Amino acid sequence: MKSFQVHVPYTELLAKSGRFLDEKINPEVYLDGDSLDFAKGADLRKLREEFGSRSLIVTMHGPYLNINPGSADENVRASTEKRYERVFEVAEDLRPKNIVLHAGYHERKFRNGYELWLEQSLKTWPRFVKEAERLGTVIAAENIFEKTPFTLKALVEEIASPAFRVCIDSGHLSVFSSVALEDWFIELGPYIAEVHLHDNNGAADEHLPIGEGSIDFARYFSLIERYAPSAVYTIEPHGEDETRRSVEAIKRFL
């Protein structure tokens, strides 16, 4: 059976790492701004060694609130760059397989077109792509408000590095996409390093366990297998009970 990651906040993983190890759960470690500030190298290296010794895969999700790597506001973009410097200090110790970071395009904020967003993004990403190449990790730029795959594809092709790929989020597609689901996989398939898996009813980003909303996951998984068979699977529930229901649900598809 294909393995999968389970999204878990850094503080929770520190407190419950033994349980994750005993249950052989591959963690996607979420580090928000506060977690980045207090994360200690010794703790990060210990997590890396413990999970590595059990042949478990660690991935990482960086912060996203109040930051944007392609912001039209240069102060916001520059502060994002500072945050990402800390992300890669943490990655130096944790050595995740992937680092998920949000791409930041929103057409309402770039009403004159995507070009300014792309120009600003290309100021931010290249230095971190070089760091990812050095560390042997992959940055996976995640969709949120994007209505089509066009801007993500343009960004990945401009950067042109195997260390910079995309993360496709099922819940975000359900709420925000304006094109057919398969279009995302046709356009981005070769660049998809990770998929985030959670459900909703199409109106809000509810982060429900798989099968508890309206997303057609049979279709979703068939497209992943067809267009991005090597992608890392990550479930993103919110809450411990939701996590257990999500783990059981994904097993039905794998």
> 187-207 pLDDT, tens per residue?
999 999 999 999 999 999 999
Give residue 253's pLDDT.
87
Strand pairing report for 98-102 and 138-142: parallel
Angle ∠(182,189,210) on CA atoms, nearest 5: 60
Task: List CB contacts of 96: < 8 A, sequence separation 6 or more.
Answer: 29, 58, 59, 60, 137
Q: Which residue, 147, 219, 213, 46, is CA-closest to 236?
A: 213
Domain that holds residue 174: 5-253
d(C-alpha 221, C-alpha 171), whole Å = 14
Task: List CB contacts of 109: < 8 A, sequence separation 6 or more.
Answer: 72
**Structural domain total, the chain:** 1
Give residue 152's pLDDT.
98
Give residue 204's pLDDT.
95
DSSP 191: G
The residue type found at 150 is F
Burial class (CB within 10 angstroms; exposed 0-12, middle 13-18, buried 19+) of 100: buried
Q: Please measure the distance between the N-terminal and C-terminal CA atoms of the chain and give it in whole angstroms.
A: 6
Average pLDDT over residues 7-34: 96
pLDDT above 90 for 15: yes
Residue 221: Cβ within 10 Å count:
20
pLDDT above 90 for 14: yes
Average pLDDT over residues 157-184: 98
pLDDT above 90 for 115: yes
Q: Kindly report the CATH number assigned to the domain that includes residue 152.
A: 3.20.20.150
Single pTM value for the model? 0.97
Average pLDDT over residues 44-48: 98
- CA distances 232 to 4, 6, 97, 180, 195, Å, are 7, 11, 9, 22, 6
CB-CB contact of 192 with 184 (8 Å) = no
Average pLDDT over residues 120-148: 98
